[in-house]
Chains A and B, each alone.
Chain A
Amino acid sequence: MKVRLFRALPWVLATLVIAIGVHLALLYQIPGYVMEKALARVGPANTIVHGKRVDATARAIVRPSPELLYSTCPYDVSQRPLRITAEVPQGTYWSVSFFDDETNNFYVRNDRQVKGGHIDILLMAAAPLDKPLPKGAEIVHAPSLKGLVLFRTLINDDAQFAAIDAARRTADCAPY
């Protein structure tokens, strides 16, 4: 019996090594894979998409909030920086957040943190810029070349839906 166990030991150890290798490989691949699929579902790079009101048919992002209006801009700053602008809707919660290709939320500003009622952000890679920076724009360095810019606007009053929807549609993104 002992001899049999001793003979089986290398195979058992090999099985465990393969299992741990597969586990770690999957673990490190999941965020990037899920992010890539999600970005492809959201829309073309460097283009803003103002999503419709969330209901049970929404399948772009897991666990969406039905009280929020989502506007998305998948970013790709490998060629040019991305300029992100928006007038901040008044009287409701609003935020703009950036996510890298590993799902990290590396930047967020909400309506109470924005000065002057509008944002002007230049999201860029580490590469030097071949033209002057836009005056007054906030510079944000992207930790990855691809990721997502996500705007959230709270529908805090159904009667004001049209006005809130119009206000959030001032958000835009375009290569600079």
Chain B
Amino acid sequence: MRLWLKALLTIVSGLVLGVVLTWVTVRSMPGGVSDGPWRTSLTIGSSEANPWQRAAIALHGLFALNRSETIYYTASHDSGGQMLDGNCIYRLKGHEPDARWWSITAYGPDDYLMANKQNRYSVSKTGITRNADGTFTATLSKAAGPGNWIPIPERHFSLTMRLYNPAPGVVADPANAMVPQIVRVVCP
């Protein structure tokens, strides 16, 4: 092979590999901790974030507050480890997160709210109907459901759970906070 062709191939391969490497490392939040199906970054909004975390935060969580003010958990899988799928029906169930205020919101693959006729995007501490034992249950489905319901009109979606002014115990140990399960009920 001629020298110039080898050089061109090397440069193009290096560029492509560099872009792919970047995409792979920042497509989801690197680092952080898991609590069931929920993941949270310990450095979001903080100058302690490493370059990979900083890039991922810029792409997927821009203007997020630091964790003493708000903790953000995200879920792209259910409690059984399966990727969330808008064709399925899910049940969110468990105890309320320990925070001054909390919400759970569904987002499409572009990281924005998904359009739906009811203009419903989330459940939260202020609007949720609780079970007799203080726990809550919410349904995630395409078709409208009774009570606590979040529409998931798109195939690929993810959830963000926000804990505003989280309890000190949650700030200290976010991997062992009380978080709801995401149970797959039925999948066609």
A residues near B (Cβ < 8 Å) are 11, 14-28, 30-31, 34-35, 38, 54-59, 61-67, 93, 95, 97, 99, 102-106, 108, 110, 112, 148, 150, 154, 156-157
Which residues of B sit under 8 angstroms from A38, Cβ to Cβ? 62-63
A21 to B17, CA, bound (A): 10
A91 to B67, CA, bound (A): 22
Is B52's CB under 8 angstroms from A27's CB?
A: yes
Is A104's CB under 8 angstroms from B19's CB?
A: no
Is A62's CB under 8 angstroms from B62's CB?
A: yes
**Chain B residue with the shortest CB-CB distance to A12:** B10
Is B62's CB under 8 angstroms from A103's CB?
A: yes
Which residues of A sit under 8 angstroms from B64, Cβ to Cβ? 105
The main secondary structure of chain B at its interface with chain A is: mixed
| 12 more CB-based (< 8 A) A-B contacts, given A22-B14, A67-B124 | A11-B9, A15-B10, A19-B21, A22-B17, A27-B22, A30-B58, A34-B58, A55-B121, A57-B115, A61-B62, A93-B101, A97-B65
Is A95's CB under 8 angstroms from B54's CB?
A: no
Interface residue total, chain B, C-beta cutoff 8 A: 53
B185 to chain A: closest CB distance in Å? Answer: 24
B60 in the interface (beta carbon within 8 A)? yes
Is B46's CB under 8 angstroms from A104's CB?
A: yes
Is A56's CB under 8 angstroms from B121's CB?
A: yes
Is B60's CB under 8 angstroms from A15's CB?
A: no
A99 to B18, CA, bound (A): 29
A77 to B41, CA, bound (A): 30
Question: Would you give 26 A-B contacts (Cβ < 8 Å), ordered by A?
Answer: A11-B6, A11-B9, A15-B10, A18-B13, A18-B17, A18-B18, A23-B21, A25-B18, A26-B18, A31-B55, A56-B119, A62-B59, A65-B162, A66-B105, A67-B122, A93-B100, A95-B69, A103-B57, A104-B47, A105-B63, A105-B65, A106-B47, A108-B66, A110-B69, A154-B126, A156-B101
Q: Known interface pairs A56-B114, A66-B122, A154-B164. Does A22 touch B15 (Cβ–Cβ under 8 Å)?
A: yes
Is A97's CB under 8 angstroms from B69's CB?
A: yes
B110 to chain A: closest CB distance in Å? Answer: 8
A57 to B22, CA, bound (A): 29
B4 in the interface (beta carbon within 8 A)? no
